[in-house]
């Protein structure tokens, strides 16, 4: 086995008075794919940021090829070939894709920028990633997975020795994941050391050589992937055995809660129709870009649309988010940083934002807000070291839980959830699945949009599949399986009779 | 866990926000101390009242500006808007005097007109920005030019003056007061206190901060973004009208140079007070401190003679830049 290229020796890290990493030992070797797993807030991102030179350790030693080093900045780490892709993207939104890929390392001819060469190389990198976006497109207009691909292209454009990726697959569809894995494997052949985090244990099992488990800032286990089962990984993360991931499915009643008829959004959705019953969990599958998010946003009043939407029998006017919320329909966004949470505000301010009028007539009742936050923290098991901290400093998974709490605060009847468990650890995933099942059992109607097949299959009693802006199929009961969803999602033929209904 | 939470709570306010919170207050205290050392008249009742009364106009406008900036907007037109509203008010009051005589109703009608005119002017800015979707900077740059030119035209390049008797009747609104505190100061205090309460304790204030912080998040949180933004401009316009009501009795006239550069002073006061220029966080009490700092600098230079009052602008400029630098130090390290 090769000697470690980058390692941590008894590293600890404190933010203010709170220590979040306690004496972590860790070794990363060239030519290995190493997974770092752990619950939300366990300290994975923090560990990676220390390795990537983004933040300093409070104690302990970082070693580069056996020699203690300290990186004054991420540039110093990058100069050694250590590149990190963050959980939250680090792209200049208003610049083009090619400009982002070469940001800070622009190719020049003489003193002038060599635009043609940069565009050409960016195009080649994107091609390698089988990502068909225009290298001159502005990043701001790209979808989340496309942005992720740009980040990856950016990393690939450098002289890589160590690649660190924080939950790269959380925002990718299965197909994009496969492409990413091929690239990672190619890099492994070249002797690059790869460290990444993921909450998808099956993926870790399949792709990785080694796995290290963090629990509450302590490295509790490090093992060859071949020597550890998925269940053992989960148990090490959570510190206890986990029961079944998916709860029993509720049986829907007959009463129709939501009816959508011939809904169109110009250029994005064509003639979508669906019905949702009380107590039902309806899944919507499809590739990213198929229009799932747009459909949900259009229903919730966040996008202009044509067509008819009836909520509990009453027509819902288009483009009115507030009315939709007041009548009991809410949408939980997939883009928690861009559209979900105010990252520089506290937990309390985020939680009550959509519903401030319920907290006091004229003046806001601070105590009622605090009580609501107490309840949310308890109900959703949110782990925040400090209630007053900006939510941008919460771990990704805890942000997601807060977003769920915020969206459900108005006690809606119909809930559209987009990627409910993106970036959420397995223990919490189970809690969220249970929560969804309980909501359904209590008579709510829920639509779950997800790129994770097992999630759709495990949660939904019925699954609609979208392709290129259309609902191309409906799968029911036993017909809900991975093969059928994938076939429909790729646009390979309609399913059964009730298809595009 | 809970224990750590509460402890940390206070620790953070003391540590993290330190400079940002107390910076402006320290600067204000320093200015007062310097003033006391330089001139024994500085703390006299007459001087302090004078400084406060004069800063009331900018102050009232700056409170409104705090909301606009907090919600991610900007309004460059307030100075010329004030001049225009003042001119309009004087013209109409002079007209009314001919029919109604020198009487209280004329004053009341004049006040109502100023408030309505300010409100409408704010509404126009707001509609162009939120409904037509033009950049706030551009819209208000445009209306700034328009109002400035309108007042010049109304005054025919000269000065519009309130009739002498009318002026005498209206005078007490600036020069009078209760318990030795003049009306403009009382008005400023009331506006500031209300503003602070609205900003910190009402849904409107929270919504402004949310929109300035991330408009998309605000929209997805079912906040009526356009309406709230519009409301900030209308509020500001209304406060401009209110400031004019206090201003006209002071000189009894308006000209092309009335309210010149008020917009910049108001914006500067807001920023010095710790509100973020890019929006997302605002505090009205900070703005009040900012206004006081700016007017004390001017006052000090007038009272002492080793720095020329002509350098007023330079010193104010330096203070603005310094304030922003200090805030950044306090803000970015996380
Ligand atoms: N800048 C910061 N200030 C204060 N606390 C922080 C900061 N950054 C992270 N933390 C805290 O440190 C802990 C570890 O966070 P980290 O982001 O490393 O978790 P994670 O394992 O990556 O979780 P997730 O799976 O949810 O992304 C969390 O409790 C988090 O709130
Ligand atoms: Mg993380």
Q: Per the structure, how many domains does chain B have?
A: 1
What is the C-alpha to C-alpha distance for residues A91 and A117, in angstroms, rounded to an integer? 20
Q: Which helix (H) or strand (E) holds A404?
A: helix A396-408
pLDDT digits (tens, 9 = 90+) for B9-66: 333 333 445 566 777 888 888 888 888 888 788 888 888 888 888 899 999 999 999 9
Provide the residue range defining the domain that includes B296: 16-333
What is the C-alpha to C-alpha distance for residues A268 and B55, in angstroms, rounded to an integer? 55
Structural domain includes residue B9: no
3-state SS string for A11-29: EEEEECCEEEEEEEEEEEC
Across B109-130, average pLDDT? 96
Which are the contacts of B193, defined by CB distance < 8 A and separation ≥ 6?
none
ipTM comes to 0.81
List Cα–Cα distances, B163 to B83, B152, B208, B229, B258, in angstroms.
18, 19, 42, 39, 18
Structural domain includes residue B67: yes
What phi, psi does B30 have (nearest 5°)?
A: -60, -45
pLDDT digits (tens, 9 = 90+) for B268-324: 999 999 898 889 999 999 999 999 999 988 888 888 777 777 887 888 888 888 877
| Mean pLDDT, chain B, whole residue set | 87
The helix-helix angle for A426-441 and A230-238 (nearest 10°) equals 90
Structural domain includes residue B25: yes
pLDDT attached to residue A98: 87
Q: For chain A, what is the largest distance between any 2 Cα atoms, rounded to a whole number of angstroms?
A: 72
Q: Which residue has the tokens 């690939």?
A: A156
* Residues forming CATH 3.40.50.300 domain(s) in chain A: 6-81+159-238, 243-328+414-501
pLDDT digits (tens, 9 = 90+) for B244-260: 999 999 888 999 989 88
B12 with A16: Cβ contact below 8 A: yes
At residue B328's C-alpha, the angle toward residues B326 and B329, to 5°, is: 65
From the CA of B59, how many Å to the nearest CA of chain A? 24
What is the C-alpha to C-alpha distance for residues A291 and A300, in angstroms, rounded to an integer? 14
The helix-helix angle for B45-70 and B225-251 (nearest 10°) equals 160
Structural domain includes residue B11: no
By CB atoms closer than 10 A (0-12, 13-18, 19+), residue A440 is buried
* Residue minimizing CA distance to atom 12 of ligand 1: A20
pLDDT attached to residue B13: 38
Q: Are the CB atoms for A445 and A258 separated by under 8 Å?
A: yes
B221 with A354: Cβ contact below 8 A: yes
Q: Are the CB atoms for B149 and B228 separated by under 8 Å?
A: no
Return the bridge partners of A284, or none: A449, A464
From the CA of A323, how many Å to the nearest CA of chain B? 9
End-to-end C-alpha distance for chain A, whole angstroms: 58
Minimal-distance CA residue of chain B relative to A339: B217
Say which CATH number the domain at B279 has.
1.10.3470
Return the bridge partners of A475, or none: A463
**3-class SS at A345?**
coil
Position B78 confidence tier, pLDDT thresholds 50, 70, 90: very high
Return the bridge partners of A113, or none: A108
Cβ < 6 Å from ligand 1: which residues?
A 15, 20, 38, 40-46, 87, 383, 385, 389, 393-398, 423, 425; B 334
Return the bridge partners of A11, or none: A24
Across the interface, of A325, A342, A357, the residue whose CB is closest to B217 is A342
User: pLDDT tens, position by position, for chain A (501 residues)?
Assistant: 678 999 999 999 998 878 889 999 999 999 999 999 988 888 999 999 999 998 999 999 999 998 999 888 888 888 888 988 887 778 888 888 888 888 877 887 878 888 888 888 888 888 887 778 888 888 888 877 788 788 888 888 888 899 999 988 887 777 778 888 888 888 899 889 999 998 888 889 999 999 999 988 999 999 999 999 888 888 888 877 666 778 888 788 889 999 999 999 998 898 999 999 999 999 999 877 788 999 999 999 999 999 999 999 899 998 899 999 999 999 999 888 889 999 999 999 999 999 998 888 889 999 999 999 999 999 888 888 888 899 998 888 889 899 999 999 999 999 999 998 887 888 888 888 988 999 999 999 999 999 888 888 889 989 999 988 899 989 988 888 888 888 888 777 654 444 443
Q: What percent of chain B has pLDDT over 90?
A: 54
Task: Kindly give the residue spans of alpha helices, DSSP state H, lying in A80-114.
Answer: 97-101
Structural domain includes residue B10: no
Q: Which top CATH class is A6-81+159-238?
A: alpha beta
pLDDT attached to residue A246: 83
B9 with A387: Cβ contact below 8 A: yes
Please name the CATH architecture into which domain A243-328+414-501 falls.
3-Layer(aba) Sandwich (3.40)
Q: Has residue B2 got a pLDDT over 80? A: no
Lowest mean pLDDT among B6-20, B113-127, B193-207, B297-311: B6-20
Across B179-183, average pLDDT? 87
What phi, psi does A389 have (nearest 5°)?
A: -70, 150
What phi, psi does A77 have (nearest 5°)?
A: -65, -40
Beta strands in A242-323 (DSSP E): 256-265, 269-277, 281-286, 306-311, 314-315
Q: What is the DSSP string of A450-482?
A: -S-HHHHHHH-SEEEEEETTEEEEEEEGGG--H
A302 with B209: Cβ contact below 8 A: no
Across B160-164, average pLDDT? 89
């Amino acid at each position: 086995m090769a000697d470690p290229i980058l390692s941590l020796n008894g590293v600890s890290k404190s933010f203010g008075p709170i220590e979040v990493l306690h004496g972590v030992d860790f070794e990363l070797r060239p030519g290995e794919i190493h997974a770092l797993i752990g619950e939300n807030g366990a300290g994975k991102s923090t560990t990676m940021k220390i390795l990537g030179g983004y933040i300093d350790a409070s104690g302990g030693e970082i070693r580069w090829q056996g020699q203690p080093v300290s990186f004054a900045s991420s540039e110093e780490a990058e100069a050694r070939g250590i590149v990190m892709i963050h959980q939250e993207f680090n792209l200049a939104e208003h610049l083009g894709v090619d400009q982002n890929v070469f940001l800070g390392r622009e190719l020049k001819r003489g003193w002038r920028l060599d635009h043609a060469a940069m565009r050409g190389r960016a195009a080649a990198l994107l091609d390698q990633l089988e990502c068909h976006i225009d290298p001159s497109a502005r990043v701001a207009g790209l979808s989340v997975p496309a942005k992720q691909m740009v980040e990856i292209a950016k990393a690939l454009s450098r002289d890589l020795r160590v690649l660190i990726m924080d939950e790269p697959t959380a925002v990718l569809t299965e197909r994009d994941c496969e492409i990413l894995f091929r690239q990672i494997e190619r890099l492994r052949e070249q002797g690059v050391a790869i460290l990444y985090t993921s909450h998808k244990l099956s993926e870790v099992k399949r792709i990785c050589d080694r796995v290290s488990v963090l629990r509450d800032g302590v490295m509790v286990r490090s093992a060859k992937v071949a020597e550890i089962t998925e269940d053992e990984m989960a148990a090490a993360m959570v510190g206890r055995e986990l029961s079944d991931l998916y709860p029993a499915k509720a049986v829907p009643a007959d009463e129709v809660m939501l009816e959508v008829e011939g809904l169109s959004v110009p250029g994005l959705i064509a003639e979508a129709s669906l019905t949702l019953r009380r107590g039902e969990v309806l899944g919507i599958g499809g590739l990213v870009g198929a229009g799932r998010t747009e459909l949900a946003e259009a229903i919730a009043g966040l996008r202009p649309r044509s067509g008819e939407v009836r909520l509990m029998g009453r027509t819902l006017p288009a483009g009115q988010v507030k009315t939709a919320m007041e009548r009991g329909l809410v949408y939980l966004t997939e883009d928690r940083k861009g559209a979900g949470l105010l990252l520089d505000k506290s937990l309390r301010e985020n939680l009550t934002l959509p519903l401030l009028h319920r907290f006091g007539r004229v003046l806001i009742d601070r105590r009622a807000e605090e009580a609501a936050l107490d309840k949310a923290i308890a109900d959703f098991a949110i782990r925040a070291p400090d209630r007053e901290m900006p939510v941008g400093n919460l771990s990704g998974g805890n942000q997601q839980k807060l977003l769920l709490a915020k969206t459900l605060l108005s006690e809606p009847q119909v809930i559209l959830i987009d990627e409910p468990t993106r970036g959420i650890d397995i223990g919490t995933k189970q809690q969220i699945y249970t929560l969804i099942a309980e909501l359904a059992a209590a008579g709510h109607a829920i639509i779950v949009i997800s790129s994770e097949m097992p999630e759709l299959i495990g949660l939904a009693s019925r699954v609609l599949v979208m392709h290129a802006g259309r609902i191309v199929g409906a799968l029911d009961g036993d017909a809900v399986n991975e093969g059928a969803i994938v076939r429909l999602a790729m646009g390979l033929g309609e399913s059964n009779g009730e298809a595009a209904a | 866990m809970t224990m750590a939470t509460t402890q940390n709570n206070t620790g953070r306010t003391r540590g993290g926000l330190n400079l940002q919170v107390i910076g402006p207050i320290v600067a204000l205290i320093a200015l007062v101390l310097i003033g006391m050392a330089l001139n024994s008249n500085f703390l006299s009742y007459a001087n302090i009242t004078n400084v406060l009364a004069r800063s009331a106009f900018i102050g009232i406008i700056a409170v409104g500006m705090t909301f606009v900036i907090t919600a991610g907007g900007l309004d460059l037109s307030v100075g010329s808007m004030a001049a225009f509203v003042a001119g309009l008010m004087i013209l109409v009051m002079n007209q009314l005097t001919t029919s109604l005589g020198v009487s209280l109703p004329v004053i009341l009608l004049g006040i109502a007109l100023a408030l309505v005119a300010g409100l409408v002017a704010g509404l126009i800015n707001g509609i162009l920005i939120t409904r037509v979707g033009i950049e706030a900077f551009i819209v208000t740059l445009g209306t700034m030019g328009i109002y400035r030119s309108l007042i010049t035209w109304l005054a025919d390049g000269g000065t519009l003056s309130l009739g002498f008797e009318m002026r005498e009747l209206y005078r007490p609104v600036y020069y009078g007061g209760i318990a030795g505190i003049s009306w403009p100061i009382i008005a400023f205090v009331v506006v500031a206190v209300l503003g602070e309460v609205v900003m910190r304790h009402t849904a409107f204030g929270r919504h402004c901060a949310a929109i300035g912080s991330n408009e998309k998040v605000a929209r997805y949180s079912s906040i009526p973004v356009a309406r709230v933004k519009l409301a900030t401009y209308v509020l500001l316009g209304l406060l401009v009208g209110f400031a004019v009501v206090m201003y006209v009795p002071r000189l009894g006239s308006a000209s092309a140079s009335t309210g010149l550069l008020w917009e910049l002073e108001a914006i500067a006061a807001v920023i010095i007070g710790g509100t973020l220029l890019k929006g997302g966080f605002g505090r009205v009490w900070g703005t009040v401190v900012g206004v006081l700092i700016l007017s004390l600098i001017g006052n000090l230079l007038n009272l002492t003679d080793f720095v020329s009052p002509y350098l007023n602008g330079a010193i104010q400029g330096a203070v603005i830049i310094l304030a922003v630098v200090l805030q950044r130090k306090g803000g970015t390290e996380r």
